[in-house]
Structures are given as C-alpha cells and as structure tokens.
Amino acid sequence: MDAATSRRLLSLSSLFLMEGRALGVEPLGSGLINDTFLVRSSGPEDYVLQRINDSVFRYVPLLQSNIAAVTGHLRAKLLSAGVEDAGRRVLRFLEAADGSGNSFVRDENGGWWRMSVFIRGSVTRDALDAAGAEAAGLAFGGFEEQLSDLPATLGETIPHFHDIEFRLEGFRSSLARDAAGRTGEIDAAGLAEGILRYADEMSLCGRLHREGKLPKRICHCDPKLNNILFDASGGGILCVIDLDTVMPSFVFSDFGDFLRTAANSLPEDSPEFSGIDFCMDVFRPFASGYLKAATFLTPAEKENLPYAACLFPYMQAVRFLADYLDGDVYYRTSYPGHNLVRARNQWALFLSARSKLSEMQDFINEYNG
Ligand code: GN1
Ligand code: MG
C-alpha cells in the first residue's frame, strides 16, 4: 500500500470514536465485495476499517441498522448468560465521531465507511478437522437459534439474495445478452447446458415456500469458512463475522453455504477441477453439530438439508458464471478467466455433492432416528 493511501485510511479511522491513536494500516482478509483494512492503534484494541461496496449493498443505513439489531441481541444474550470474554464473541461497530450516532461515515466522494473492533487473538482457517466441523455446525445452528427470538424485523440487504429462481433468471438474461462476448468459451466447458438441466430440481426451495412448507428465518447467508473467527490459542470458535447479509432466508442458506466452502477438498477458485471432492468427513460432523443446536427445525427443513448441500455450490456456479458473462462486474477478480474458473470449480463440487445425496440423506435420517 502506498504512503498516500495509508495516510488517507489513517485519517478516515480518526472519523470514528476509537480508543487511542491510529498508528498503521494494512489490508485484511480475502472478501470479494468490500475493501477491508486492519488499523493498529495505540489503545488496547486494534480495529477493522471497511469501505462498504454500495453497488452491492445499496442502502447502507438499513444494512447498519440490521447489524446493530443483530449484534445488540447477541451481546445481550452473552452478557445475561455470563459468558466469559463476551467482547470477543460478537462484533462491535464504533460510533462516528461526528455526533450523528451513526455507525458509518461518508468520505468526500460519497464512499461509505465503517469501523469495528478487531477481535484480539483471532484467526481464520482454510480447513477443518472433524471436531472443528462439529463446532462450526454448533456455531451456525446456534446463531440461527439465538436470532430466532429477535424482536426487530430485518430488511433484505440484497433483495432476492439466495433466491435460486431469481438467480437463474439473471443467468438466462446474462447468457442472452452476452455482454462480454464470452458465451463461446463457456459452451466449450458445457457449463451453461449443465446448469439449465438441473434448474428445476434445484428450484425446490421456492416451490416448498409457496406451498407453505418452508418458512423464512433470520440466517447469516454468508457462512463461508473464512467468515468464522477461531481462537488463535486453540480455544475453538469465537464468533461469526461479516454480518452484511444477515436477513430472512431459508435455513438452507447457512447449512448449504458453509459446506460449500468447508466441504470442498480445494479452495473455491482452484483450477484443479478433477481433484474436487465434496468431503463427507466434513458433512457428517457439521450436520451433527448443526442439528444439535438448531432445535427449531421442522421435518421439512431437516429432510432437505442434503438438497441444501447441493443447492449452494449450484447457486454459486450460477452466480460466478453470470458474472463472467457480464464481464466481471460483481466479484473482485485477479485475472481475466477468474470467474470462469470459480464457476467450473463450483460446478465440479455440485456434481460431487449430488453424487452423495443418498449418503447424506441416510445420515440425516439416522440422526433423526
Ligand atoms: C461474496 O465478499 P464475500 O467474500 O464475503 C458473496 C457471497 C459469495 C462469496 C463467494 C454479498 O462474499 O454470497 O458466496 O463471495 N457476498 C455477496 O466467495 O455477494
Ligand atoms: Mg460477505
């Protein structure tokens, strides 16, 4: 990072009510949407400064008020349960120094910024053993359970975010528009045809919802493995971060999207497609943990968890491929074919998960007794 950028970020940090003085700043994490930085301070805490991508999150005040409702509710529960170290188990956003009471500021170009406390001694992980996968299941099942009595009504920070029928409609228009002249390349991979072949099967959740058989609940909706903070000294999971997409959705969102990253034998942008395997060694402990914590699930929700494990790699292949066709306008990319590689990776994961559907169903049925 050049000196001018670093000075600018330090001065943006001073627009929040932080303790101490900002000493230095560095890039943080690998998110594909927002820009994230770690701010080292002279006070007891370090901070995370983020520029919010407002072409993705179009109404930042709603976004931040959702997050305040969620973090406030979680914090109150931790405190009333007397949990030790509560400050490391839920995110805390800082107030702006301008007296507005807002948890965001706008820069001179209209950009939106926010700052939260960096959770001390936390790390993210790229892979999990069985105990870690079970802990993650408990964490996400527990997250939904804790929020099941949230008094506030949350808005959809991205309308139709995990609505597969809507995503497929978008994909079909991207194909027809061919804005970047790339349909030839994806034909070669046979990808579009494959996606359309499974469209009906994968749209099951929309049908169940319309038939009144599948409720919406407050879900995290971006539960990828690197959105979980682990205690660096081996004390297990501290908390779930990246709360931008916490909104009403089907529970499939958290169950399926977690496994999409954690049960993939390779990272989501690896081009080694033939090495991609949906790991049942992650599915089993994760599903056990999740079912243990999410005591509110209906039979229809439980029964369709294996479908959820297929739906999310499928939906992500649709989203990456649509973005590739649109000319890489949504996801941050590092090279020209990046989104196509990601789409093919997710497609391979979908096929692997789908080939294990009955194995997953047997496991869930057995668990339910
Ligand atoms: C995006 O920005 P990040 O990395 O948290 C995306 C998720 C995708 C993910 C794929 C708001 O998440 O839905 O699953 O990339 N978030 C949004 O890596 O679109
Ligand atoms: Mg995110």
Show pLDDT as tens, one digit a residue, over the chain (369 residues): 899 999 999 999 999 999 999 999 999 988 899 999 999 999 999 999 999 999 999 999 999 999 999 999 999 999 999 998 999 999 999 999 999 999 999 999 999 999 999 999 999 998 899 999 999 999 999 999 999 999 888 999 999 999 999 999 999 999 999 999 999 888 767 899 999 999 999 999 999 999 999 999 999 999 988 899 999 998 799 999 999 999 999 999 999 999 999 999 999 999 999 999 999 999 999 999 999 999 999 999 999 999 999 999 999 999 999 999 999 999 999 999 999 999 999 999 999 999 999 999 999 999 987
Which amino acid residue places its CA nearest to atom 14 of ligand 1?
A: 222
pLDDT at 259: 98
Do 36 and 48 contact (CB within 8 A), yes or no? yes
pLDDT at 102: 96
- Tell me the sheet residues that pair with 51: 35, 113
Q: Which amino acid is residue 228, in one-letter code?
A: I
- Domain boundaries along the sequence of the chain: 3-117, 130-367
Residues with CB under 6 A from ligand 1: 31-33, 56, 158, 222, 242, 245, 268, 316
pTM of the model: 0.94
- The three-point CA angle 225-228-231 to 5° equals 125
pLDDT at 265: 97
Number of other residues whose CB lies within 10 A of the CB of residue 350 = 27
Class of domain 130-367: alpha beta
Residues 6+ apart with CB under 8 A from 178: 325
24 alpha carbon – ligand 1 mean position (Å): 27
Q: Which of 76, 251, 231 is nearest to 150 (CA)?
A: 76
> In angstroms, rounded to a whole number, what is the distance separating the alpha carbons of residues 324 and 178?
10
3-state helix, strand and coil shares in percent for the chain, rounded to the nearest 5: 50, 15, 40
pLDDT at 184: 87
Helices assigned H by DSSP within 214-356: 252-262, 280-293, 299-303, 305-326, 338-355
Number of other residues whose CB lies within 10 A of the CB of residue 298 = 12
Query: Which atom of ligand 1 approaches the CA of 261 most closely?
Result: 18
Query: Which atom of ligand 1 approaches the CA of 30 most closely?
Result: 4
Q: Using the structure block, give the residue that is written with the tokens 């969620």.
A: 70
Instruction: Return the ligand number nearest the Cα of 320.
Output: 1
> In angstroms, rounded to a whole number, what is the distance separating the alpha carbons of residues 35 and 225?
19
Count of CA atoms in the C-beta half-sphere (13 A) of 354: 14
288 alpha carbon – ligand 1 mean position (Å): 25
The secondary element (H helix, E strand) that includes residue 361 is helix 357-368
DSSP 153: P
pLDDT at 165: 98
Do 229 and 123 contact (CB within 8 A), yes or no? yes
4 alpha carbon – ligand 1 mean position (Å): 29
261 alpha carbon – ligand 1 mean position (Å): 11
Q: Using the structure block, give the residue that is written with the tokens 């919406």.
A: 216
Q: Which of 356, 360, 166, 169 is nearest to 249 (CA)?
A: 166
Query: What DSSP letter does each residue of 12-45 carry, written as one string?
Result: HHTTB--SS-EEEEEE----SSSEEEEEEESSS-
Burial 256-281 (b: 16+ CB within 10 A, else e): bbbbbbbbbbeebbbeebeebbbbee
Which amino acid residue places its CA nearest to atom 1 of ligand 1?
A: 32
Q: Is 231 helix (H, G, I), strand (E, B) or coil?
A: strand
Instruction: Return the ligand number nearest the Cα of 258.
Output: 1
Q: Is 91 helix (H, G, I), strand (E, B) or coil?
A: coil
Q: Using the structure block, give the residue that is written with the tokens 């029964």.
A: 303
Question: What are the residues whose beta carbon lies below 5 Å from ligand 2 (ion)?
Answer: 222, 242
pLDDT at 188: 63
Q: What is the CATH number of domain 3-117?
A: 3.30.200.20
pLDDT at 160: 96
pLDDT at 104: 98
> In angstroms, rounded to a whole number, what is the distance separating the alpha carbons of residues 26 and 69?
29
> In angstroms, rounded to a whole number, what is the distance separating the alpha carbons of residues 99 and 23?
24
45 alpha carbon – ligand 1 mean position (Å): 27
Pick from 34, 35, 222 the residue to mutate for probing ligand 1's pocket: most ligand atoms within 8 Å of its CB: 222
Instruction: Return the ligand number nearest the Cα of 221.
Output: 1
Q: Is 242 helix (H, G, I), strand (E, B) or coil?
A: coil
